[in-house]
Amino acid sequence: MSFNLGNALKSIAPTLATMLGGPLAGGAVAALEGVFGLTPGAGTSAIANVLQAGALTPEMIEKLREAELEQSTKMQQMKIDLVKLNLDHQDSIAADDVADRASARSMQIATKDWTPDILAWLVIGATILVAYEVLTGNIAKDPTLATLSGTVIGYLFNEAKAVLSYYFGSSVGSKEKDATLADIARQ
């Protein structure tokens, strides 16, 4: 189970936690780095390390509350609804992803280039081969190679997902359809 920085901060600094989930994440990270005495640019992993280590001092908690109040006040003064902003940001990213895939499909139709098909077959074939090797126990017998193998396997499966989304669509449309059906059912 991975550590979720936003969830860890939610009870003591809900505004900063919400900012971490959207386009204002950089501001939240900078504020948290200052609170925890980290060098600017240390990033979320350094912040998470402080929280996971249980290294919060009463002074840090006080600074965290002050940073929370400061960010919350700024958001209220600018009339920024963080939840709506984050949702709009996620919708924008999803729309960009759909548009990107649509333009790639349009290019494929217009140029009739065979390169994407060959690359797709290579990715799917390699994924099937690696999955077979993992299931039969032929990969990662050496503990030193286990991490590298895991990284390569994760990469291949992620790319296979992208290939399948390109040719068969993604689950974004399914989620939108489910939401629409739920709205209709409530009426």
Question: From CA 25, how far away is CA 61, in angstroms rounded?
Answer: 20
| 73 and 12 inside one domain | yes
Say if 10 falls within a structural domain: yes
Say if 150 falls within a structural domain: yes
pLDDT one-digit tens code per residue, 30-57: 999 999 989 999 988 888 888 888 878 8
Of the three residues 39, 67, 82, the one that is the final residue of a domain is 82
Question: From CA 85, how far away is CA 60, in angstroms rounded?
Answer: 28
| 118 and 174 inside one domain | yes
Number of folded domains that form the chain:
2
Using CA of residue 150, residue 154, residue 156, residue 157, what is the dihedral sign? positive
| 127 and 61 inside one domain | no
Local confidence band at 67 (pLDDT 50, 70, 90 cut-offs): very high
Contact 108, 100 (CB under 8 A): no
Say if 47 falls within a structural domain: yes
Q: Does the global pTM surpass 0.75?
A: no
Q: What is the domain extent for residue 40?
A: 5-82
| 71 and 136 inside one domain | no
| 77 and 9 inside one domain | yes
pLDDT one-digit tens code per residue, 165-181: 888 876 655 555 555 55
Q: How many residues make up the chain in this entry?
A: 187
> What is the mean predicted confidence (pLDDT) over 64-83?
90
